[in-house]
Amino acid sequence: RDARPRRGWWTRRDANERFRRMREQYPNSENASAPTPKSFYALWDDILSLTFADLTKRVVITVSCSKAICTPENLLDVAKLVQGKL
């Protein structure tokens, strides 16, 4: 059996642990305060990512974009749109 929970079966603890592992593993990560208090930016080559956890909804989401296309502010706008659809 796959040890990962199926979609919708995550607990808050699972989501928090997943966020923590991603924060440790993503390159050049820096804490951010939005769109949720549990957010961080990461940069790999020219790919900028914004990862955030919504523990109430028990999800961790990453949005990514090339730095040639998006600014951190653009990425935050996209993340807020995604969060609003949860």
Q: What is the pLDDT of residues 48-84, one digit of tens each?
A: 999 999 988 999 999 999 999 999 999 999 999 999 9
Q: What is the phi/psi pair of residue 15, to 5°?
A: -65, -40
pLDDT of 2 > 70? The answer is no
Tokens 């653009």 — which residue? 74
The alpha-carbon radius of gyration of the chain (Å, integer) is 13
Count Cβ atoms within 10 A of the Cβ of residue 26 and give its class: 0-12 exposed, 13-18 middle, 19 or more buried.
middle
pLDDT tier, 10 (very low <50, low <70, confident <90, very high otherwise): confident
Give the other-Cβ count within 10 Å of 24's Cβ: 8
Confidence of residue 1 (pLDDT cuts 50, 70, 90): very low
**pTM, entire model:** 0.85
Select from 3, 4, 9 the least CA-distant residue to 59: 9
